[in-house]
A and B are shown apart, each in its own frame.
Chain A
Amino acid sequence: MTQTHDAPRGHWIGGHLVDEIASTKPRPGGAWLLGVLALVGLVDGVLAMIPGPASTPTPTRAELRRGLQAAADAPGRTIVVLGDRRLDAVELRRHVALDAPLSLHAIDLPELNPCAALALVRELDRVDPDGSVELAITLDLRDFSAGESGCSQSQTRDFSIDEPSATFSIVYDWLSEHTPVMRHRARLGLAEASRPNSTRTNSLAGELPGREHAQVEALDSLLTLLQAGDRRTTLILPPLGLARANPGQSESGRLHADLAGRIHDLGDPEITLVDLDHPVFLAEHFDALGELTDAGRELLAINLIFELGLPLDRRPFEWQMVHPEGHDRSLVHRVDQGFAEAGATTTRFASPEGVATSPSGDRIVIADTGNHMLRQLRGNLQTVERLAGDPEHADIVDGPARTSARLVAPRQPVLDGERVVFIDGLLAEHLRVVEHGEVHTLDWTGPRCRSMRTLRVRRGMILALCSDGGLLRIDPFGASSERLVRPQRGGYVALEVDDERVWLADADAKIWERRFRPDDTLGLPRLVFANRAMVRTPEGVPVAETLLPHGNRIGFPYHFDDIALAKIVDMRWVERYDSLLVMDEHPAKGLPAPTERVHLRLLDFEVERVLPWIKPQAHGEAYTLWNEQADLNASWYHVGSMALVERDASLVWLEHDRSRLIRIADGMLGVAQTANHHTRGVSIPHMTTLSGAVAQRANAVRPDRFLDRRWEPLPRSGPYVILQLGSSLSSMSDRFANYSLARQIERELQRELGYRDLIRVDLFAISSGAATFADNLRNFETWSQSSVPVDVVLIEAHDFASNWLRKTGEPAQIAGLFARLEALAERYDTLVIFYDNSQTEANRRDGLRSTDADVIAVLDQARGLGFTVVRPGDLLLQRLAVESPWGNQPYANNQHHGSTWALDRNAELVAALTYPVLREFLRGRTPARLRERDPTSFDQTPRGESLRTLLPGLAIDRTRLVAVAASHLQREYDSGLLRVHVDLAGYPKLARSEAELEKLAVAVVLTVLDDDVYAELARELEIEIVEFANYDEYGEGVVDSAKSLWRRRFDRASLDTFLTERAPKPR
């Protein structure tokens, strides 16, 4: 119908005729657009109703770009995980502690190879140019196989919008995201409806191909890109399961080692390679196509989160972890020997002789003698790489180290900056160097020796100890040598050097010191260790007893006159302790000789004292065991080589007969942390030689000074110090002698706090026989005078023969102990935890009995004072059904300590019960040791007498006091102030006048001072008399209805005045 000009211009709208609205007038262009939009919407809606895959498994380019942009825009710490193991951000986040401030993003592709990773990183660099977003990228070794040589277009797609060619891509991406057909292409079958199966081959290249391989070229570009920026990047080798799919066919690991070499050659600390291809991933963790199952992905996620330095939401089982929590690590651990490369459980060595480390400990070089190779670990020390040589070709050939150079029997490497100097040749006659990727054999004019034992480097000069006992100084640059010590029969066998001196050990295990003169020749020898205690059998064999004297009150620290050394095989100067660490190899009877026969002795020449060097163990005897068949004092250390990291004094130990390489922290600290108990009441062959005396001596040296420098594979806050004070119940198990509850608690807490909170704790302990509460306190006081300030003190309570409260049973005495404890704890705001260990005690009978009532009363009092108290007895009784007995037969005289499993379960439970408290307490805290003060500065602080001491001086007629209703008193105590709230509901007949309230206050004060547990501690008292307008259903006053009628705060002087003036006097 056509509208005439005179027709009314209006419409009925809502029952009213309204004027024509201009906007309602159809306009040809707008109508078309609306129509199109409506149609598009309709099509989109219809397409959305077509059943299809729940999600598009392969992200589009726009989705990828958006994902990276989201990460770049996220506030705070942000990590993007680029992978292809179907780990999405939700799955990963599920394993991160809930309260961790973190923005976690994941981009998961069907196959992420270096080409694709390179494209994604380029885009990330564009949107996050300052590198604030951290990266984790999986690298699949299969991508370097021969069949994987190309980078497809989809892999190399360039995300950059800075390039002209990208404009079309952006338009295309926009359309892909917004047009119906493209949006729903998966439903229409126009896109991959499911994730494509892997096209990767299941065999690995023998080695990393050259740059002609597109993926290698992309990898190099990726590494160059990463190195150019500041982005923290973790490259992850995910589990492949190849060996699991083909059991028995071991991979050589060369490809992995080559890749590690390529990455570590960058020398960029921001780029790390993490090896997660590990036996914790079992065949069952892969499906038929070689993809990780749900359980496998969960395992990968847990390990990935851990390696990224993030807190886990729960503590994993140890067997789930590729690398367990802790500052000491087994870097390589295979029981067999041979040749294999790369990982901790794949690498095999063959009779290695010598190990060296860089001063910072981020490089370890191994002389893999039997494999004719030098090998190395760098960075995070997770991969063993080739440094020089070939396992299948023994020869002396110079040239490129990893390819054509050949070694015969490399030994005793030393590092001089980046240079590695080592001995080679069947007779150890060659001196060779690896430098800038090349091996060359040194030649020089001047004295030589037929065979060399060991090397050191000083000021660029090589010191070579010859097998004939002579010592050469070789100038590798001037190609000349000089003899420092002439050869001699029965000459020197071990060498150590610092800037000023050399130490030379001879075949009789005597040690000589010679100082360098200004012209770098050596001064006269001075005998610094005479080995005077040595006694040999007629056959010339050292008597085992002299190598480790033991007996009642005999043990470390030994005087030089009291202990002998059998055979010195190596020495290292420990600068931080001005002492020499000596490897002493003990003889053994029979063949094959046990390998656990090397003892480490730290010699302090100034005081002529010998200390051990240990990692503290739960089994406190682990360093001094008796081997009856071999007539041997067995050790924790096996025959091998050692190196000491200059920066942190950590020990790198390489075994000769297994493929085992470990790194453990400062051994003096280890001694300081032990709490062994020296007692005759043991059933093992030796009385311990590592008693509390040596721990005390080590603590006097204060090895904790260096705690901040200790090697931590992953950063941890702290370390915080816990001091455990207890009796032999916390340190012994009768059939094994020393077995430490402290060590097991430390292990539990290190795992719990380490995995979940990224917190490191170190536990020191003191064990005294049948320790009383007072003994514990005295030990704490003594400790506080000279040892490391503590963040937490764990105090054992027990009821063995009523000892814990011996001579301190009176309430005032107990209160006095608490007062002293509180004063000590105040110094560094130390958290005090009491643990009831009565259940362990098994005197004449098995343990797990009820705690003595007096002990419980004191623990209740401790709880009331605000100390933490844990009493695990009842919870442990449940375990007795399976873990029995709790003690050790035969329950002979003095044998009343727990079995090893009882101590283990105790430790687990004490740690579990204290963990929540510790976690809250330690988070964000500055370690006490960083706030250390002169102990006397605390002692000079006036503390004042307790308020209770006022009472004897006051004359008061107590019969005239208002009767106090104890049920209407509420007390709070904190740091010397006792607050008492008085509810007037308990005094219905009392008038509310000031005078009456004062009378009540006097009565309350005296009642509190008479009988309150806090009275001995309180130095201030606050009394508040309140009246409530209403009460809850339990009869408790409702706080918001309280009205304060009378309130006073007293110190000792004002309280004295108040009571003198207001208390009723005797008539």
Chain B
Amino acid sequence: MSKDAFLLTAEGLHKSYRMGSTQVKVLKGVDLAVKKSEFVAIVGASGSGKSTLLHILGALDRPNKGVVTFEKRDLSRFSSGELNRFRNKTVGFVFQFYHLLDELSVLENVYLPAMTGRSVIGWFACRKWAKNRARELLAQLGLAERAGHKPYQLSGGERQRVAIGRALMNEPTLLLADEPTGNLDSAAGNGILEILGRLNGAGQTVVMVTHDERIAQRAERIITLVDGKIEHRHTK
């Protein structure tokens, strides 16, 4: 398949961290390509580098070496402003520990990306739209009644659904989920996976990181990461 057909590509990604006096190599030359509307699961044991890879793909981190392109544009050539806009508009993140702002209500957490990407005047101009969109998302995620609650008043599954709502707020091209069920019981986890599956069914590109092979089976393509290298690719 031509390289142009991919939404996201990564070539020769290397990443290392300094831990005390030692240099820990996390990624050791990862190549990856994701097509539009694809559901890709990256599987690996703890410490295999899968979360680091996801952060690099979402421009939350930079590789020491290698290139990430999104819609044929090299992310390393983005200015910091372009990277911020990329994280705000193009990518949506879902984290294992939900990462919601405790000071904001559920509704405010969902429309946070719409607020951070706009000036005060811009925000007032689109506030109605943003609130409606956030309410719609919460309704789709089964949280319509929880809009006014604070994150700490919700269960783990509900919080993760709020995090998905936030990730979808600006209608991102790419949804990146880092162990989205890792902190949930199986019922809540299944609910989240169903939502991700439903979103993918509606055309949303999803890249999910998990250590659980069974969860990864929900994706249409599974990439196995071992010690910072892709060891196995499996397409259903």
Whether chains A and B associate is no
